[in-house]
Amino acid sequence: MTQFWEFFTFELKFRAKSVSTYVYFLLWFAFEFLCIASESFGPIGNANGKILLNGPYANTYNYIGASFFGVIVIAAIFGTSILRDFQRDTIQILFTKPISKFAYLGGRWAGSFVATVFAFSGMLFGGFIGTFAPWADHARIAPNHLLWYLQPFFSVAVVQIFFLGSLFFLVAALSRKIFIVYLQGAAIFMLYIIGVNAFSATRSLEHFWSAILDPIGFLYNDAITRYWTVIEKNTLLYSWSGVFLYNRLLWSSIGLLALLAVWKFFPMSVESLTAKSSSKRANLQREQEETVKPRRSLVAIPLPRVNQIFGPGTSFAQFVSLTRIRISNIVHEVPFWGILFLMAAISLNNGHFAGRRGGENVWPVTYLMLQSVEGGASLFFYIVATLYGAELIWRERDTHFAGIHDALPMRETTDWLSKLTALCFVELVLLTVAGLCGVIMQIVAGYYHYELLQYAKELYLVTFPQVLIYVLLALFIQTVVSNKFIGHGLVILVFVVTPILQSFGWENTLYLIGNTTSVTYSDMNGYGHFVQALIWSTSYWLGFMCVLGVISIALARRGAEEGWASRFKLARQRAPRLLPAGIFFLLVTLGSGGWFFYNAHILNQFISAKQGRVLQADYERAYKKYERQPMPKIIAVDANIDIFPERRSFTGTGHYLLQNKTSAQISQIHISDAHAAAFGSIDLQPSISNVHFDRPFHIISTSPGGQYTIYQFETPLAPGEKLDMTFSLAHISRGFKDGHERAEFAYSGTFFDSGYFPTIGYDSGVELDDPRRRHEEKLGELELLPHRDDALGSVTNLFTKQSDWITFHTTVSTSDSDNEGKPQIAISPGYLQADWHKDGRHYFTYDMGEVKTADFFSFISARYDVKRVAYAGAAGPINIEVYHIPAHNFDVDDMIEATKAGLNYYEKNYSSFQFKQYRILEFPRYRTFAQSFPNTVPFSEAIGFIDRTEKPDDIDFAYFVTCHELAHQWWGHQIIGSQTEGSNMMSESLAEYSALRVMEKKYGTENMRKFLAHELDGYLRGRSGEIRHENPLVLVQNEQYVWYQKGSVALYALSDYIGEDKLNAALRNFLMQYRYANATDAQSGPYPDTRQFVAALRAATPPELQYYITDAFENIVLYDNKAITASYIETADKKYKVTLTVQAKKVKADGNGAETPMSLNDYIDIGVFSGKKNHEKQLYLKKEKLSQEKQTFEIVVDELPTRAGIDPYNKLIDRVSDDNEIDVSKP
């Protein structure tokens, strides 16, 4: 033990003297300090405004993240502990002593372990001290509990250090190469990402197994806490049981096995450790001796005269030779092939799972493959730049060859450029392999439309220049620093500091090092309007990095003197040769940067996210007082819109017919320009101008940017009186922006809506709705929707305050020849009345006729193929049209079939379709939604058009979304609820439920389990991340997980309880009673709210099931159902009697997740099945009344049972539904 303590204390003393130990400590201190002291930093501060920043969940998640990103730190400490003896050639001295394996290996390992734990303990101190920061949000900081810090630190971070440190120690001891150790760290990092992607994309393993096999913690954290409410996340620690206990035991055991492997395979002899290297040295010495050995010439000949030439040809030959040697050195080493293999594996993995939603496949189109493989490979580009940039700069000094190398007759420029070229070659190899991985995955997936030119553009013209920026930066840093590992740290620091600065509001591309503007490729629009900003921002940073490259050449080390004085002296000597290049690249930097600044800051106004929030807050503070002031309502809209797709602009004029639908005179009208006020999207000119009325008026006030203008009428508008209003509209794109590009306007795929039109009155949609941001701006709590008894809310429809129902007419034009010289189609809601060509424009007139619609319309212009079919609707023929690009015809027929199926179900059960057409229009993937306008549904290429269903039970999301948006033609376009709490349920929940019913007709009742499980998971995850408080369905505000997922499950379960026909009859009666409320010119009356809706449900529900409506719609009720045991015996008549014991509990939760037990007296499904899990055949399903926590049922079935359980179809809200079923065994 004495020797052990000597090595242990020596290692500790070495680490105590090492600056890196304290750097690591301060790094983790700063990380955790900022996670708590700054909401803008860290995953928890940005994620949920109600989770305590120093709570047990936040601390655990932060420690998991630190363990993940700290892999390199652990590798550096454990790897170098044993390698120092080999690097400094002290191993031969050490092993001449009688040292035991335990003392040497154990002391080194234990010292490294303690040093690493000390470094990571910076998180403990940083977190604790961060709670006292005066600027921190103390509303999210609880009194410190020591256990909240210590338990996750030891159970997460310390176990990770033990496991990972042991692996790194093993590899370092056996390979004796630090590069291999770092490569192992990168491999663990990237392989973990592969595993997470695989489990997340396929859910091929149950949460239980994926959590146990997770070596880092993100998956077991998700498995344990995915349904925890905010109050649970703020109070509960991980329990030392279940998956957490098994996970920690598994990986601790693997760490122990790694230590045993070191013990087994590490040779404690100088001969064994140096045999290979000694052999190499001996062979090299023999080769040198053979080379220089004097030989007697058989024929005496005169020696040739050597003419020394040092011109451009020589420099070029030296450049080519050095570049070839350096490339050869890299590609003949194992680490390079390890990096290449890992990158290819991750790229193939990402390509395999690309674009999947809920585990379902999509067609591997090229943009999706590039997005996926580059996403997996991008980190490797920077790893190679970081590691090999250092190796190329330091190789001669590390191999003690610098004296010879520096004496060679060769310019520094030649030497440095050869290093740059070699590194660029390696990066290009990686890029090419990444592209090949994309093509391979397309071949494997049976997709044969290979867009090789698109691969080349993306990889070599978009990605490579951004990689080159980082390559140049890495070479510069390694050239100027005096230590390779300090250089590594600085390069990595630059890489990670950019997102950190962005989180603090530093968003200007011109000062974020190496940051270029983002670009998104769309099959509809190509690279579109992103190209200019990308070119100039890339030129700016490439020019700047080339300036640094020139400085690198000037400061390059040469000779034995490496001090700064000698380096500056050499730089002065080299300056005359380098100055022209330096000036050129400086001019490129200044020129491209100046042009970028002119476009982004002069032609356009640059507004950061923080500035945008300030503008929103200012709007609210200035004009919120006018929110309830009576305004006339729009009853008709007529617009003339000219779209210029090649300029990403539009101009137009509009006409509103307004009516005073109140009982009082109106003397003022307030006009908001929503797009000038919201989200930092301010243009130098307002989009609305030339506002006029058909009566005398004057302007009382207007805001500087035109966001809000108050007009005074000289003659007030009497009750029932109408008013004409005309105005001009425009959006003119100028140059390019530094981010914040408006996605609505594209060269092909322009899609904007009525939000660009004047808003009558105060626009509450502009308000900040994030509680954290409101707190920052010192705004009070936001009431998203008023109470159901609110006088104004009850007579205002859910979607807008400025109108009830309108008639709509428009003429919209687009270019006959766009930027590609191709014609486009312009579309707006309504029936096409006429189209004509004039002056290079194509005009289309649309009119809704006498049908009144919601004040919700859009304008689209794009290059389209169109597929049309006719459907025999209840009230006459309905034209179904799908507008799409030719390359995206995969799901067109599916969308048409979904539309037919939806029309058939909705007309049969609700009412006739009010229109004669239904159109689906593709738009670019810059936005990812579908939106239901009157008879017109724009549909993003990102969520439809490329879905691929192969198995009969695959969820067809394109089909489902089509059914959902079609259902809105009833729930949202025939009936609209009041602008009060809960009304979103009558739009979104009913559309979601209706779509589920259509899906059931396609897939069958037994396959609904998958859909309902998907909806249930969405609801439970949503409530886990609630940033305010959860509301019941009847009072839902903007909790999408409530009105979508919970609403659909609740309605589906209700239909199961009372019968599908009964529920649909109730919905039909409700629809027919309240549809088109306030569609006349009479004074606005009340819209329906959830009280009328629930009354309609209760009228169709028998007394014994009324409790379910109370639980599902008016309260937040959760179940804990579980199958405990199940067995069967064969009966005399060849049937099977199943004995099933189940457990059922029920709780009521408040908005924060606090739960109160409830008595149980519920009807719950009891089911028995045959076949394999997830592919069962239903043998028995019946609702049984459960009034006790545990009950046993005896069920006789005709076939051999394999599984049985309670609520097997997930119709009830059960947080742990995985245990609802159990295998049936024979006793």
Taking residues 151-162, report their average pLDDT: 92
Question: Tell me, what's the pLDDT at 680?
Answer: 42
Contact of 955 with 1057, CB cutoff 8 Å: no
Question: Tell me, what's the pLDDT at 271?
Answer: 55
pLDDT-wise least confident of 99-103, 222-226, 320-324, 426-430: 99-103
Residue whose pair of structure tokens reads 């019968």 in the numeric block: 1059
Residue whose pair of structure tokens reads 């049972």 in the numeric block: 1201
- Alpha carbons within 13 angstroms on the beta-carbon side of residue 254 total 17
The domain that contains 1195 carries what CATH number? 2.60.40
Q: Look at residues 1073, 928, 874 and name the one whose alpha carbon lies nearest to residue 986.
A: 1073
- In the chain, the amino acid numbered 910 is Y
Question: Tell me, what's the pLDDT at 45?
Answer: 55
Same-domain check for residues 563 and 644? no
**Whole-angstrom Cα distance, residue 1210 to residue 1213?**
7
The DSSP symbol for 939 reads: E
Contact of 846 with 828, CB cutoff 8 Å: yes
In the predicted structure, residue 267 carries a pLDDT above the cut 80: no
Contact of 340 with 307, CB cutoff 8 Å: no
Taking residues 794-820, report their average pLDDT: 92
pLDDT-wise least confident of 369-373, 405-409, 621-625, 823-827: 405-409
- C-alpha distances in angstroms, 633 versus 609, 766, 809, 828? 33, 20, 17, 22
Question: Tell me, what's the pLDDT at 205?
Answer: 43
The DSSP symbol for 1116 reads: -
Contact of 538 with 465, CB cutoff 8 Å: yes
Taking residues 732-757, report their average pLDDT: 91
Same-domain check for residues 195 and 329? no
In the predicted structure, residue 755 carries a pLDDT above the cut 60: yes
Same-domain check for residues 557 and 641? no
In the predicted structure, residue 274 carries a pLDDT above the cut 60: no
User: Per-residue pLDDT tens for 67-94?
Assistant: 888 887 888 888 777 777 666 666 666 6
Question: Tell me, what's the pLDDT at 358?
Answer: 63
**Whole-angstrom Cα distance, residue 466 to residue 266?**
43
3-state secondary structure of 899: helix
Question: Tell me, what's the pLDDT at 1119?
Answer: 96
Same-domain check for residues 188 and 228? yes
Kindly state the percentage of the chain with pLDDT values over 90: 52
Question: Tell me, what's the pLDDT at 966?
Answer: 98
Contact of 423 with 476, CB cutoff 8 Å: no
In the predicted structure, residue 355 carries a pLDDT above the cut 50: yes
Question: Tell me, what's the pLDDT at 570?
Answer: 83
Name residues whose C-beta falls within 8 Å of residue 866's C-beta, 6 or more positions apart in sequence: 825, 881, 882, 883, 884
In the predicted structure, residue 290 carries a pLDDT above the cut 90: no
User: Per-residue pLDDT tens for 1128-1161?
Assistant: 999 999 899 999 999 999 999 998 888 999 999 9
Residue 641 belongs to some domain of the structure:
yes
Taking residues 846-863, report their average pLDDT: 94
Name which residue leads in pLDDT, 478 or 198: 478
Name residues whose C-beta falls within 8 Å of residue 376's C-beta, 6 or more positions apart in sequence: 190, 193, 343, 346, 347, 349, 350, 351, 434
Taking residues 366-384, report their average pLDDT: 88
Task: State the residue range of the domain holding 1206.
Answer: 1116-1227
Same-domain check for residues 6 and 123? yes
Same-domain check for residues 643 and 577? no
Taking residues 630-659, report their average pLDDT: 96
In the predicted structure, residue 663 carries a pLDDT above the cut 70: yes
Question: Tell me, what's the pLDDT at 704?
Answer: 79
Same-domain check for residues 638 and 673? yes
Contact of 673 with 688, CB cutoff 8 Å: yes
In the predicted structure, residue 548 carries a pLDDT above the cut 70: yes
Question: Tell me, what's the pLDDT at 679?
Answer: 44
Same-domain check for residues 201 and 162? yes
What band does 902 get if pLDDT is binned at 50, 70 and 90? very high
Residue 550 belongs to some domain of the structure:
yes
How confident is the prediction for the chain on average, in pLDDT? 87
User: Could you tell me where the DSSP H helices lie in 939-987?
Assistant: 957-967
CB burial class (10 A; 0-12, 13-18, 19+) of residue 938? buried
Q: Look at residues 756, 522, 801 and name the one whose alpha carbon lies nearest to residue 661.
A: 801
Same-domain check for residues 266 and 366? no
In the predicted structure, residue 322 carries a pLDDT above the cut 60: yes
Residue 1055 belongs to some domain of the structure:
no
The domain that contains 660 carries what CATH number? 2.60.40.1730
Residue 886 belongs to some domain of the structure:
no
Question: Tell me, what's the pLDDT at 276?
Answer: 52
818, 836, 863 — which closes off a domain?
Answer: 863
Residue 806 belongs to some domain of the structure:
yes
**Whole-angstrom Cα distance, residue 535 to residue 516?**
9
pLDDT-wise least confident of 257-266, 438-447, 781-790, 1181-1190: 257-266
Overall number of domains in the chain: 4
User: In this structure, how many other beta carbons lie within 10 angstroms of the beta carbon of residue 146?
Assistant: 9
Name which residue leads in pLDDT, 831 or 102: 831
Residue 784 belongs to some domain of the structure:
no
**Whole-angstrom Cα distance, residue 534 to residue 737?**
10
In the predicted structure, residue 280 carries a pLDDT above the cut 70: no
Taking residues 152-177, report their average pLDDT: 86
Name which residue leads in pLDDT, 357 or 586: 586
In the predicted structure, residue 35 carries a pLDDT above the cut 70: yes
In the predicted structure, residue 407 carries a pLDDT above the cut 80: no
In the predicted structure, residue 253 carries a pLDDT above the cut 90: yes
Same-domain check for residues 629 and 588? no
pLDDT-wise least confident of 161-170, 664-673, 1154-1163: 161-170
Question: Tell me, what's the pLDDT at 204?
Answer: 43
User: Per-residue pLDDT tens for 166-210?
Assistant: 988 888 777 777 667 766 676 776 667 666 665 654 444 456 777
What band does 34 get if pLDDT is binned at 50, 70 and 90? confident
819, 841, 863 — which closes off a domain?
Answer: 863
Q: Look at residues 815, 917, 929 and name the one whose alpha carbon lies nearest to residue 861.
A: 815
- In the chain, the amino acid numbered 72 is I
pLDDT-wise least confident of 240-254, 675-689, 837-851: 675-689
Same-domain check for residues 388 and 499? yes
Question: Tell me, what's the pLDDT at 711?
Answer: 97
Q: How many residues does the chain have?
A: 1227
pTM of the model: 0.87
User: Per-residue pLDDT tens for 491-538?
Assistant: 888 887 777 777 677 888 998 888 899 899 999 999 999 999 999 999
Q: Look at residues 764, 851, 767, 839 and name the one whose alpha carbon lies nearest to residue 807.
A: 851
**Whole-angstrom Cα distance, residue 37 to residue 52?**
12
Question: Phi-psi region for residue 724, left (φ > 0), alpha (ψ -120 to 50) or beta?
Answer: beta
Same-domain check for residues 562 and 656? no
Name which residue leads in pLDDT, 487 or 797: 797
603, 637, 655 — which closes off a domain?
Answer: 603
What band does 1223 get if pLDDT is binned at 50, 70 and 90? very high
Residue 610 belongs to some domain of the structure:
no
Residue 1079 belongs to some domain of the structure:
no
Calculate the CA dihedral of residues 492, 494, 499, 504 and round it to 10 degrees: 130
**Whole-angstrom Cα distance, residue 900 to residue 881?**
11
